[in-house]
Chain A
Amino acid sequence: QSVLTQPPSVSGTPGQRVTISCSGSTSNVGTNTVNWYQHLPGAAPTLLIYAFNQRPSGVPDRFSGSRSDTSASLAISGLQSEDEADYYCASWDNDLNGYVFGTGTKVSV
């Protein structure tokens, strides 16, 4: 059950900038931090952005995150072929007492 809404797909050419939106509510995105995960085919998901706009060590600064009210966004600048993957936002939901994931966005380059 996905409570956070993302576009099914986004596409771009190498070098372009693309953004992925994540729409939630006051019980999740509007109150708690939003994290982003990258899921490459055949691999385990990995943490891409945490606490709205923080990058773990090793994540290129081409990836950035932001939040406004009950929505969050992930931006990928300087798009590269290795960025082709599924991307998910996630946040803790205070009403559900659990994590909620976004519906997922497939990025094509």
Chain B
Amino acid sequence: EVRLVESGGGSEQPGASLRLSCEASGFSLSSHSMNWVRQAPGKGLEWISYISASGTTIYYADSLQGRFTISRDNAKNSVYLQMNRLRAEDTAVYHCVRELLIPAGRFFDFWGQGTLVAVSS
């Protein structure tokens, strides 16, 4: 059974840092690109970061303005999101998402339940 379990969320003050983790099981993490997608309260889904299967290619949403860093450790079956200089607008549920790339296209084929990050003074 494919599982993606996020952890590390919590309540923080503006300017603080948090590190989210995503533990994968039931499949070979090293064969898949991974992404983080967030959903702020009452808002829609927002893609925020991508990391290739080997970790050599990384992309971020412009809205992050260089504050977040994605990484992975395939030996530990884990993907991470280091979040620095947190802002109130970073308050959201953060989902770890597996990507599938096939000749017909690329898409997210499995989502974790998410971990809540709340930023408030």
**Per-residue interface assignment for chain A, residues 63 to 85, with 1 indicating a CB less than 8 Å from any chain B CB and 0 otherwise:** 00000000000000000000000
Contact residues, A72-106 vs B (CB, 8 A): 86, 88, 90, 92, 96-104
30 A-B interface contacts by CB (under 8 A): A1-B61, A1-B62, A2-B44, A32-B106, A37-B108, A44-B111, A44-B113, A45-B108, A47-B107, A47-B108, A47-B110, A50-B100, A50-B104, A50-B105, A86-B44, A88-B45, A90-B47, A92-B106, A96-B61, A96-B62, A97-B59, A98-B59, A98-B61, A99-B35, A99-B47, A101-B37, A101-B45, A103-B44, A104-B44, A104-B45
Which positions in A face B, CB cutoff 8 Å?
A: 1-2, 32-33, 35, 37, 39, 43-47, 50-52, 54, 56, 86, 88, 90, 92, 96-104
Which positions in B face A, CB cutoff 8 Å?
A: 35, 37, 44-47, 50, 59-63, 95, 100, 102, 104-114
